[in-house]
Chain A
């Protein structure tokens, strides 16, 4: 008979394809890995609001402004769902935010790149969300129940994100010469960082093996990246965008594209804090968190004053 609080029993449950729920036994490493991964994911959604937010007030039509706002709002919502999933593991959102702001917790490096022209909004939706979706679809089957449920909801909502981005790119490629140049410029700047979003090669990925064993991660970085490459290159070609890589080849046998080596120096440089916008993104988050402090304190104070009344009338 298995001890229900043993790692062996836990692994058995995982191997049987069971979901783990908040009160179930889990090894400390599993909990820690989840908190790190889920909170990193949540922070990415929230920080990811900034580059796109940079264009809200300059969106060129009422339709595009509504789409962009709704999309950024979704991202905030997704951050919120993910923070909630992390909270079931016994960590508060307050602590998670503190970890983000102190630099202890990371977020996806992609958001340390700037959104410089309107086509960047297209490229972010198409490439960045496109890459994220490949990862997120896979995570719907993750072993931790609250994370899995959050991902199901997120995937359902995200389905329009990539399409709206691709629509912008397609429209601009059909537009004036200037619009086509903007689209290609955005493609050139976002292609490689989007590929980096899947993380280092499996052989260089420090957390991958445990995460796969515990079925937190269901597919490896390289597998997911390849999926993204294979579906994205034909999409680029269809609308006349050039992928900024002269070594792309379709391997007829495997059906997979091969590409040049990713610039991992850049990847590690940006992760370690030296991307174009690392400081700006964190400063923004801290600034508005601090500016909101008096509002949250007021809400708290109001509650304290009226708590008794509320309970009586509830």
Chain B
């Protein structure tokens, strides 16, 4: 493995997280529980797609074979996407959307704060921008988790169920494979192992404040770093890639 190859994969993984979660959130447009929240979720989605654009462009530039960020975003096969399983999970009810947001945005806040120190200048620059955005996403998710957890009986139950349902996808966030390890040694990538304790602390604090129970770690789903996904991703892609695949000669 060369630094170039590893960096390409690394940028792709981060870009895919943003791409797929941005896509999931965009599905909620005109479906928010109140108009203001509709706009709030769209803002988060726009941050994500912007981030995907920056990271996939960096991946394309690193690969340097004439592909654009759009080629990368729209023309890969399912098993060449490397987003975490968590972000491809369906929006479900609003509690599930918020639970997914909580778990990922607390992780991303910790992650991108570390990535700011990367020796890769491009990743570091992107991270500095993302940290600001994701800090807001995290606040938004925390506030809603607390409102729903400590709201009505129904919302409490729904929020607890949602956290429980999403929990098995959280383990993967902290997996280090050979790409992570290689780039960590190069001073490029983030060491995920020490992030876990910080993440657990923060999540537990929020859940406690929300009068919710932090789930026990059980079996954790895994596979995305090798391109093995849940059944959800294929459906996301069949929509997302529809025009690019149906009219391969067209420019949009």
Indicate if A touches B (C-beta under 8 A). Answer: yes
B37 CB contacts on chain A under 8 angstroms: 292, 295
Taken residue by residue from 55 to 93, chain B's Cβ proximity to chain A (1 for < 8 Å, 0 otherwise) reads as 010000000000001100110000000000000000001
**Would you call A66 an interface residue if the criterion is a C-beta within 8 Å of the partner chain's C-beta atoms?**
yes
Q: Say whether A60 contacts B252, CB under 8 Å.
A: yes
A298 CB contacts on chain B under 8 angstroms: 147-148, 151-152, 154-155
| Contact pick for B33, options A63, A171, A292, CB 8 Å | A292
A76 CB contacts on chain B under 8 angstroms: 30, 35, 38-39, 42
CB distance from A72 to the nearest CB of B (A): 6
Please count how many residues in chain B sit with their CB below 8 Å of the partner chain's CB atoms.
49
From A146-154, A158-166, A173-181, A216-224, the one touching the partner chain is A173-181
**Would you call B219 an interface residue if the criterion is a C-beta within 8 Å of the partner chain's C-beta atoms?**
no
Would you list which residues of chain B between 192 and 208 have a CB under 8 Å from chain A? none
**Would you call A233 an interface residue if the criterion is a C-beta within 8 Å of the partner chain's C-beta atoms?**
no
B147 CB contacts on chain A under 8 angstroms: 298-299, 302
**Would you call A62 an interface residue if the criterion is a C-beta within 8 Å of the partner chain's C-beta atoms?**
yes
- A57-B23, A76-B35, A79-B35 known; A66 vs B252 contact (CB < 8 Å): no
| Contact pick for B34, options A56, A60, A296, A302, CB 8 Å | A296
Taken residue by residue from 56 to 79, chain A's Cβ proximity to chain B (1 for < 8 Å, 0 otherwise) reads as 111111111110011011001101
Q: Say whether A294 contacts B30, CB under 8 Å.
A: no
A291 CB contacts on chain B under 8 angstroms: 31, 33, 93-94
Q: How far is the CA of A11 from the CA of B149 in the complex (A)?
A: 54
Q: Say whether B247 contacts A176, CB under 8 Å.
A: yes
**Would you call B21 an interface residue if the criterion is a C-beta within 8 Å of the partner chain's C-beta atoms?**
no
Q: Say whether B33 contacts A296, CB under 8 Å.
A: yes
Q: How far is the CA of A250 from the CA of B37 in the complex (A)?
A: 48
Would you list which residues of chain A between 156 and 206 have a CB under 8 Å from chain B? 171, 175-176, 178-179
Q: How far is the CA of A64 from the CA of B239 in the complex (A)?
A: 15
**Would you call A145 an interface residue if the criterion is a C-beta within 8 Å of the partner chain's C-beta atoms?**
no
Instruction: Summarize A's interface: helix, strand, loop or mixed.
Output: helix
CB distance from B27 to the nearest CB of A (A): 6
Q: How far is the CA of A284 from the CA of B38 in the complex (A)?
A: 14
Q: Say whether B150 contacts A66, CB under 8 Å.
A: no
**Would you call B215 an interface residue if the criterion is a C-beta within 8 Å of the partner chain's C-beta atoms?**
no
Q: How far is the CA of A288 from the CA of B155 in the complex (A)?
A: 16
A176 CB contacts on chain B under 8 angstroms: 247, 249-250
Q: Say whether A295 contacts B155, CB under 8 Å.
A: yes
**Would you call A251 an interface residue if the criterion is a C-beta within 8 Å of the partner chain's C-beta atoms?**
no
Would you list which residues of chain A between 115 and 163 have a CB under 8 Å from chain B? 118
**Would you call A301 an interface residue if the criterion is a C-beta within 8 Å of the partner chain's C-beta atoms?**
yes
Q: How far is the CA of A175 from the CA of B158 in the complex (A)?
A: 48
Q: Say whether A284 contacts B30, CB under 8 Å.
A: yes
Taken residue by residue from 152 to 188, chain B's Cβ proximity to chain A (1 for < 8 Å, 0 otherwise) reads as 1011001000000000000000000000000000000
Q: What 10 pairs across the A-B complex have the smallest Cβ distances?
A: A292-B33, A298-B151, A298-B155, A295-B33, A60-B252, A60-B243, A49-B30, A73-B42, A302-B147, A288-B31
Q: Can you name 20 A-B residue pairings with CB atoms under 8 Å?
A: A46-B30, A57-B27, A57-B239, A57-B240, A58-B240, A60-B74, A62-B52, A62-B70, A69-B42, A77-B39, A80-B35, A118-B252, A178-B250, A284-B30, A288-B30, A295-B33, A298-B152, A298-B154, A298-B155, A302-B151
| Given pairs A62-B49, A80-B36, 11 additional interface contacts (CB within 8 A) | A53-B29, A59-B243, A70-B42, A72-B29, A76-B30, A76-B38, A176-B249, A178-B247, A292-B94, A297-B155, A298-B147
